[in-house]
Amino acid sequence: MPFPGLPERLRVVQDRIAAAVARGGHGQRVEVVAVTKTHGADAVQAAWDCGLRAVGENKVQEALSKMDEVQVPIAWHLIGHLQRNKAKFTPRFALVQSMDSPRLADALHDVGVREGTVIRVLAQVNASGEESKGGYAVDAVRADADRLRTLHGIAVVGVMTMAPFDADERVLRATFAGARVAREALCEAGHPARELSMGMSTDYEVAVEEGATMVRLGTILFGERTP
């Protein structure tokens, strides 16, 4: 196996997730999205062999090259920034987690209509207010929620957020709570927004306590990545 110890590391993670669900009291099901960016297609196969059914990639072209190498029917999630001129590739993804602006929503809708499909997306929310991060402000999600309902080429199935790197627990919880507020706004507007994608290798337990339904884990499963 190309990633020795992966099954055991995953079992530890899953145990910690279960404990975090119990502490948080939200009672949600949590999916582990294995972040395979910068790793080869063997990481995707290893994730599948361990029972994981979704992988996350940051870059469209890197993901597409791996899709052509991998035979298992794993779900591909785009978790990195998406340029509008690459929206045409998104029908190959099971979920686009990084719909970060109204203009990108429009571009994805156009692709969905043109291809006769519905592209599943998460609204990326900048719940921490960091200037270096992209995404909707929490209030902007509410402002755009009704308009997004008219875009039948996409289905907004939830929210994704990233907490500041090395943030303390207070900031983590405030960020994740902001994402919950954004999801509630989408639900109130009639979107099927069940998913909350938040939490990475360093903060996933707090994210689960705050209601995450997806955690994006790379380093804790596969080890440090190459640049």
Domain count, the chain: 1
* Domain annotation covers residue 11: yes
Q: Which domain holds residue 30?
A: 6-222
Per-residue pLDDT of the chain (227 residues; tens, 9 = 90+): 689 899 999 999 999 999 999 999 999 999 999 999 999 999 999 999 999 999 999 999 999 999 999 999 999 999 999 999 999 999 999 999 999 999 999 999 999 999 999 999 999 999 998 888 889 999 999 999 999 999 999 999 999 999 998 899 999 999 999 999 999 999 999 999 999 999 999 999 999 999 999 999 999 999 876 55
Half-sphere exposure of 114 (CA within 13 A, CB side): 11
* Domain annotation covers residue 57: yes
Q: Residue 159 in contact with residue 181, Cβ under 8 Å?
A: no
Of the candidates 223, 158, 225, the one whose C-alpha atom is nearest the C-alpha of residue 187 is 158
Radius of gyration over every alpha carbon of the chain, rounded to an integer in angstroms: 17
* Domain annotation covers residue 135: yes
* Domain annotation covers residue 227: no
